[in-house]
Structure 1
């Protein structure tokens, strides 16, 4: 039985029925192919409606084809803006209660909370036949990414990940230039970011604090181990803690690695290795805080040959301000990437440089101005169209319309960056006073979803969930 276990009795009953073959059928299915809901609009429920979640649901609404029908957030302070913007939307704190009571009135769900709860929120909606839009990174763990990729096909729902650059013109420009042979055969890729911009490599605070009355701390923790509330974790700095976030890779990896993935047809890594930066207690003693993401890293990933490459691809990821050497073709006063972030594809006949999201893509040297025929349709409105594209695809129904970042694409992309995190965590783990994973190349068995030569990191492929928040799903 493929079902999701949570602690609310009513919701367990609903999902068990779904797993048994009886589920709430989306309205477009009830009306046949191409059927539009009676309101002519998609009824969306938002889970996590502050910050990025707030801008997400506002963007769906701006498409003109969506109604924001329900709002759910564990923090009333963060939700206040969305509640004000959508006063007719019914508000919940617990997503399980919302789905249990309102599933008949929901067509699609937007998920935008901390990384560690993405999978449990999204899968719950998918099991009820709801289309889902999930913020990047798709999941917290490798196994969860594989689960959501599989579930999208199993439940036949329209999916999109929130890496809006996948809908930008730059990603299509790069793909067309490469396929036209302008830079030959790509063999090496560099992606880099100035993130993290939150505390990293530090010890967990020793001083606890009262939980704000507007926050349901237990619901915020969700799948993560129970810890007492501490200040300055919510709503932003959780990104630097492995229990909740996925570090700089989780924050920027999807935005930067999407271009080489779509251009080169990359899928799953074959091996990965990492070096990490450190925080020092003083000038002599290095701090050891493995529960916190390191302040910088350089990860080298190898991807097998694809239908679009002549051989394996080596992809370098750098964060914490580390950057690759400037290409000789780039002028001494020309900006490398966008200054703090960038993408560089190195081919046998040339190079392509781009900014975050694949924006401002240019051939090197920048005096090269070759043009090629447009092969791939552009998304109207680009990044804003990323939202409207998903809304229209949901109304059309599963398999009727293409989206830029369906889980079949964004799932493997997320797995790759989470594999890189395995290497980062392995390199940062101390055993008997030593760091045995620091000089290793981790070998990945994709079918078994495990590292074959350093078992210590396999505990992070699928973490242990807090009791009552476990995910049970058979792939």
Structure 2
């Protein structure tokens, strides 16, 4: 192994054990002919980073710190972010438009890291997959269900290594929770509840009018502002419907609330919090989805909302109801004080007890019933780190735990919560046909036509 590779591996998990166990958590296909261009572990991967400010800057720093890559291209629509990254990597080509990056450098890149805003994820990821590049993409995987399905299918066709940026997926806490649930420690799980305290978005029309913060503006502004000098506003808009620049959209997280650019709390935090029950309960496509909240707004996602999913039986697991709550909405057990009132959490309800978890800890309930109960033997290998998994997998030495084959269906399910909310109907979901049966008003929220000049091919 190259002495340049600084990724820390679990010393008790061999490569053979890693590969065998990773199949349990949706690992990528290691037999792909497009694994890193040479099998030698001394080879360094040539990586392009699309989006290098904020979250993108953190991804750049973490992946470069593995000492297993060369940064060969940088791209950002903000010139100041691009200049800052270029000063650290002067040998990397610098681009404003990721479409030109692929035009000019397609043969000089082995892998791509996508850290753009949500509405451009698919458009930066698709050309990379079509050129046979490994891809790490921030969450959510794509802006809507149609884009997500197309990216998932393109990744399977490309046979490359993929990872969505659900960093908590690699945590020991999530691993131990999944092991306990799948081992039957609390019995058959028939309901699960996920709640997050974040309340960004529209509270109500009345609240929006009273609120002095422009982030809660209730209507699309008609006045045009001059974009910041360092921002290419047209490129930032990308495939989204055209409009004049206004500071209610940019900088982040302003754009996060507007339907044309993102999908609010559900698609963002749902990627992290719904990930745990999705993994532990072996979920796929729900049978029905229903959402509740204030009257849907045409422009802005809600601050508070509840979504109820019904899933059928899977393998050795019974049907289960998964409920999501954001903002002021909470599970009844939380409101009644039956469980610890954590600000955000995941509650599994089984026939022999409950398990409550957040990102970093979990507890079995009632605690007195589990004092002498031994946890199952660990069967999920410790991760070297979410980013490191991807680098190792690209080198042919591991698998990723959140590949697009897993992250795609998770993202679709999260988007369905918003589709049900915006359509105002209980959805009966036909996953294969990608449509809500008998609910044509859901169609515009499942798929949209991108702005002229932008295409997924």
TM-score by length of 2: 0.85
SS at match of 1:173: helix
1:105 aligned onto 2:121: no
Q: What's the counterpart of residue 287 of structure 2?
A: 270
Distance 2:288 2:364 in 1: 29
Instruction: Count residues with an aligned counterpart.
Output: 408
Q: What's the counterpart of residue 73 of structure 1?
A: 76
1:297 aligned onto 2:298: no
Distance 1:308 1:115 in 2: 35
Tell me the CA shift for residue 207 of structure 1.
2.1
Q: What's the counterpart of residue 374 of structure 1?
A: 378
Q: What's the counterpart of residue 243 of structure 1?
A: 260
Q: What's the counterpart of residue 432 of structure 1?
A: none
In 2, are the aligned partners of 1:126 and 1:152 still within 8 Å (CA)?
yes
Q: What's the counterpart of residue 317 of structure 1?
A: 324
- Residue from 224, 230, 233 that aligns with 1:208: 224
SS at match of 1:67: strand
Distance 1:459 1:329 in 2: 38
Distance 1:120 1:459 in 2: 19
Q: What's the counterpart of residue 343 of structure 1?
A: 346
SS at match of 1:471: coil
Q: What's the counterpart of residue 44 of structure 1?
A: 47
Tell me the CA shift for residue 210 of structure 1.
0.8
SS at match of 1:353: strand
Change (3 A) 1:308 1:220: farther
Change (3 A) 1:468 1:182: same
Distance 2:452 2:124 in 1: 16
Tell me the CA shift for residue 197 of structure 1.
3.2
In 1, are the aligned partners of 2:200 and 2:264 still within 8 Å (CA)?
no
Tell me the CA shift for residue 79 of structure 1.
3.4
Q: What's the counterpart of residue 277 of structure 2?
A: 260
1:135 aligned onto 2:138: yes
Q: What's the counterpart of residue 12 of structure 1?
A: none
1:158 aligned onto 2:155: no
RMSD, aligned CA: 2.1
Distance 1:331 1:272 in 2: 26
In 2, are the aligned partners of 1:200 and 1:293 still within 8 Å (CA)?
no
Distance 2:94 2:419 in 1: 37
Query: Structure 1, residues 177-215: CA drift from partner, whole Å, max 9, x if none?
Result: 123221100111111112233545721123210122211
Distance 1:85 1:342 in 2: 39
5+ residue gaps, structure 1: 1-24, 279-287, 427-436
SS at match of 2:394: helix
1:468 aligned onto 2:453: yes
Change (3 A) 1:78 1:425: farther
Query: Structure 1, residues 259-308: CA drift from partner, whole Å, max 9, x if none?
Result: 11111110011111111136xxxxxxxxx741111221111111121114
Moved more, 139-148 or 368-377: 368-377
Change (3 A) 1:27 1:99: farther
SS at match of 2:274: helix
Tell me the CA shift for residue 77 of structure 1.
2.8
Q: What's the counterpart of residue 244 of structure 2?
A: 228
Change (3 A) 1:329 1:308: farther
Distance 2:217 2:333 in 1: 28
In 1, are the aligned partners of 2:354 and 2:364 still within 8 Å (CA)?
yes
Q: What's the counterpart of residue 424 of structure 1?
A: 421
In 2, are the aligned partners of 1:111 and 1:133 still within 8 Å (CA)?
yes
Distance 1:93 1:308 in 2: 50
1:453 aligned onto 2:457: no
Moved more, 362-371 or 315-324: 362-371
Distance 1:425 1:200 in 2: 18
Q: What's the counterpart of residue 363 of structure 1?
A: 364
Change (3 A) 1:222 1:328: closer
User: Once superposed, which parts of structure 1, at least 4 consecutive aligned residues long, lie more than 4 Å away?
Assistant: 327-332
Q: What's the counterpart of residue 406 of structure 2?
A: 409
Q: What's the counterpart of residue 353 of structure 1?
A: 356
Change (3 A) 1:443 1:211: same
Tell me the CA shift for residue 327 of structure 1.
5.6
Q: What's the counterpart of residue 21 of structure 1?
A: none
In 2, are the aligned partners of 1:60 and 1:388 still within 8 Å (CA)?
yes
Distance 1:202 1:328 in 2: 29
Query: Structure 1, residues 212-252: CA drift from partner, whole Å, max 9, x if none?
Result: 22111111111101111111422211010111011101110
